[in-house]
Amino acid sequence: MTKERIMIVEDEKIVALDIKDSLEHFGYSVPCMASSGEEAIRSVNECKPDLILMDIVLKGKIDGIDAARAIHKNCDIPVSISPHTQMKKHYKEQNSPNRLDIS
Amino acid sequence: MATLHNKILGIIGATLIGMIFIIYLSSHFIIMDSFDKLEEKEARENAIRLENIMSSEIQSLENKAADWSVWDETYEFVQSNDTQYVDKYLMDETFFNQRLDFMLFYNANGKLVFKKELLTTEANNQSIKGLEEHLKQRSDLLEHEDNSSRKTGFLVFAGQPILVSSQPIVKSDKSGPIKGTILMGRVIDDDEFTRLHEITYLELDVKNISNYNENNASNAVYAGNNEEKIITHILNDDIHIYSYAQFNNIYGADAFSLEISMLRNIHQRGVNTINYFLAILLLIGIVFGVTIAAVLEKSHISRLKRLENEIRNIGDKGDFSRRVNYEGNDEIASLGESINNMLESLEKSQDLIIKRDITINAILQALPDMMFQIKKDGTIRNYKLSTDNCIYESPEAELSICLDDVLPAHIAKKELEIIEQALRTNQMQTMQYTMPVKGEMRDFEVRVVASGKDEVMAVVKDITEIKQIDEMRRKDILLKEIHHRVKNNLQIISSLLRLQSRKFTDKDTIEAFRKSQNRAKSMAIAHEKLYQSQDLENIELEAYIKTLTKYLLNNYGYKQEDIKIDIKIKNVTQGIDMAIPLGLIITEIVSNTLKHAFKSNKGQIQIELLPENDGFYLLVIRDNGIGFPEDIDFTNTDSLGMRLVVSLVEQIEGKIELWRDNGTEFRITFKELSYNRRDY
């Protein structure tokens, strides 16, 4: 049985490492990580993850939500956006795409 | 003022005068010309009549002379010169009757045979003597070609014309040969003129008398007796008109002319007629003019005057709600109507202006900003302070204030510069400056807009508060950044601790890492909540503790369905200084509970925060687990967690109690500490 592949998009590398470690501890595969929205969009095709964990606040010009939208245009990968109270409220108001899972 | 009335009278008067003048002049020319022509014609006819009379005189003399010359007695006498002939025929009476002054008989040899003259005046005798002398000199008159030759005409000697006829002496049957010549005639003297005047009723005078001159007439021969000329030469002065009948002498040279003077009665009558005509014309003109003026006055001018008075009244009082009266349907009435229409428009405009005035006034009064009307040189013409009366209503009087009086010199200088710029570019200029007002530095923004050729409107806004708010907002953003950074750092510490803990297999060690990680995480969440809060100072405790306990539950591997966490906190916010110790206390106690209390992995945790009297709060953390061991004094234990709890309770100057009743219950009473907000 192949492991589910999860991509982590997080600009704080240590935090990203922590998440990766935890996920691998739970038995998932984390083949690639990105620290900016642009990088995530670039590497999503090579990496082909089953799920993307996306932080909202990122380096670079675009935030997590915009990056998730861009990814959704090209492929059908669920994106989980990390909890962030204010943002959550903000994006729920904006009728965000169904596959954007704001947990 | 040249009123319309006067102008119309003037125009009518001038027209009438001009018309009368033209009529007068043309009629003068036509009438006077014909009158004068009539007069001239009469004068000419008089001259012709006179000339005819003279011709008949000549003819009559010639006929008389013929009686003498064609006569046998004379034929005899001129040869014999007998005294009987003289006595018998040449009597003075005969001369008087025949109106003869002299008679001269010459024989065929040209010698004077006999001479008879009436002794009248010395002048007449002189003239006759002149004729005798002339005949001695010149023999033309004594020579006759044939028996019927007649030489009759005038000759002038010694200033008097003589009418003379020379005829050959022949027999009564007109047969010859010619034995001599008889000359007879009379002097045209004053008596003669008197006689002519009596015949003709003409005023006569002899003019241009030219004595016979030998030299001038040397080539002339007898030219016949019809050489008299009628000169219709007219001379006139105002009283007389003169015509002339010119007579030549017997040789064809100028002899004399008779001047006929006539009173200019016809001319005078013409003048009178013209004057009479003029008087009538004037009278008609005056009547006509007065009538037209009166009619115009009544029908138009008086109405115009009334209209003008009404309009002036309206203008003087500025009351555009009034209307002028008009009647009829001519141009004046239409003018009145137009004026009323104009007044209506004016009234509307005035109303509009008043309304706008009120609106503008209200807007200006409502504006809190100061306004200054400033000239290019910095003189303040008018102003409104924030609380003052409106600039819109300020008086006309000149204010003697300038920018230097109200602003510090360097600011005044800058403002003058932007005023100049605003006037030059015709665009709004703004400037900010800070100056002391009543001992306090305040910020102002001035907007300068050109409002005239060399005048601007400066609106000054006190932006001190806006600036302060701005400053605060910037500080808040900075603060938010810092809180975010702090949260991230704490998160990193938490992540580092977990990553590190995975390198160990020893349970106690792993647990120790996990606890440290939770402590860092609880602080990270506090900072996260803080920068998400509205004021960056107070943390909504309910949300904070919910997130915190959820995290702890996850971290200890519990599911939310198994352990029910019940949080009862209503609208309590605390500053970071209070929230961090409270968060850490809750972290320690809840961690302890989650680790030890639930043997069956199921249970309930209640967290309550209740406000009490006098600003005290009661924090209750309760579980329905196995209960805190009876043998352990939580205030005095080796456990770092409990020591931390006790220390933190001390830090917030609170009290902690432990209740072992159906599980474990910690009650912490504390009072909100009055930490002053640190001055950033």
SS3 for B312-340 is HHHHHHCCCCCCCCCCCCCHHHHHHHHHH
Work out the average pLDDT over B461-466: 88
CB pairs under 8 A between A and B: 28
Determine what percent of chain B is predicted with pLDDT higher than 70.
93
Taking residues B470-486, what's their average pLDDT?
88
Integer Rg of chain B from CA? 77
DSSP string for A12-47:
-HHHHHHHHHHHHHTT-B---EESBHHHHHHHHHHH
Which residue stretches of B175-237 are H helix?
190-200
Give the pLDDT score at B222. 58
Helix (H, G, I), strand (E, B) or coil at B505: coil
Confidence at A86, pLDDT banded by 50, 70, 90: very low
Q: Are strands B370-375 and B455-462 parallel, antiparallel or unpaired?
A: antiparallel
- High-pLDDT (> 70) share of chain A, %: 78
* Confidence class for position B249, pLDDT limits 50, 70, 90: confident
Token reading at B89: 């025929």
| CATH 3.40.50.2300 given to domain A6-102 | yes
- Angle among Cα B342, B344, B345 to the nearest 5 degrees reads 65
Write out the H or E segment, with its range, that includes residue B540. strand B538-540
User: Nearest residue of A to residue B529 by CA position?
Assistant: A85
pLDDT computed for residue A93 by the predictor = 46
| Residues with Cβ within 8 Å of residue B615, at least 6 apart in sequence | B671, B672
The predicted model gives B601-605 an average pLDDT of: 87
Residue of A nearest to B494 (CA): A15
Angle of the B302-317 helix axis to the B331-366 helix axis, nearest 10: 0
Coil, strand or helix: which one is B454? coil
The closest CB to that of A14, out of B495, B502, B532, belongs to B495
CB-based contact B342:B320 (threshold 8 Å): no
Residue B281 reports pLDDT greater than 90 = no
Q: Looking at the complex, does the CB of residue A18 fall below 8 Å from at least one CB of chain B? A: yes
Q: How many CB atoms lie within 10 A of CB B285?
A: 19
Q: Which residue has the tokens 């016979």?
A: B212
Contact indicator for B584, B515 with CB cutoff of 8 Å: no
What local confidence, expressed as pLDDT, does residue A83 receive? Answer: 60
Chain A residue at shortest CA distance from B485: A12
Regarding beta strands B455-462 and B440-450, do their DSSP bridges make them parallel or antiparallel, or are they unpaired? antiparallel
The model's confidence at residue A103, banded by pLDDT at 50, 70 and 90, is very low
Q: Please name the member of A18, A25, A86 whose beta carbon is closest to the beta carbon of B495.
A: A18
Query: Is residue A14 within 8 angstroms of chain B, CB to CB?
Result: yes
Regarding predicted confidence, which is higher, B236 or A44? A44
Instruction: List the domains of chain B with CATH numbers.
Output: 41-267 (3.30.450.220), 367-462 (3.30.450.20), 469-671 (3.30.565.10)
Q: Does residue B22 sit in helix, strand or coil?
A: helix
Closest residue of A to B499, CA-based? A18
Nearest to A23 by CA among A37, A10, A42, A36: A10
Break chain A into its structural domains and give their ranges.
6-102
Contact flag A18-B499 (C-beta cutoff 8 Å) = yes
Is the model's pLDDT at B343 over the cut of 80?
yes
Q: Please check whether residue B358 is in contact with residue B381, taking contact to mean a CB–CB distance below 8 angstroms.
A: no
Quote helix, strand, coil % in chain A, to nearest 5: 45, 20, 40
With contacts defined as CB-CB under 8 Å, which chain B residues touch A85?
532, 543
Contact of A21 with chain B, judged by CB distance below 8 Å, is answered with: yes
How does residue A85 score in pLDDT terms, banded at 50, 70 and 90? very low
Q: Give whole-number Cα distances, B209 to B57, B120, B166, B254, B280, in Å.
A: 19, 21, 22, 8, 49
User: What tokens appear for A84 in the block?
Assistant: 């962030």
Average pLDDT, chain A: 78
Q: Which residue has the higher pLDDT, B503 or B251?
A: B503
Does the pLDDT value for residue B64 go beyond 70? yes
Q: Provide the sign of the torsion angle of the four alpha carbons B81, B82, B88, B93, taken in this order.
A: positive
Region B449-454: what's the mean pLDDT? 88
Would you state the pLDDT for residue B394? Answer: 52
Write the single-letter amino acid at B193.
F
Helix (H, G, I), strand (E, B) or coil at B562: coil
Separation CA B106–CA B143 (nearest Å):
10
- Report CB contact under 8 Å: B502, A12: no
Query: Does residue B607 carry a pLDDT above 90?
Result: yes
Amino acid at B429: Q
Could you tell me if B672 and B653 are in contact, meaning their C-beta atoms sit under 8 angstroms apart?
no
B264 or B120: which leads in pLDDT: B264
d(CA B433, CA B407) in angstroms, rounded, equals 10
pLDDT category at A102 given cuts 50, 70, 90 is: low
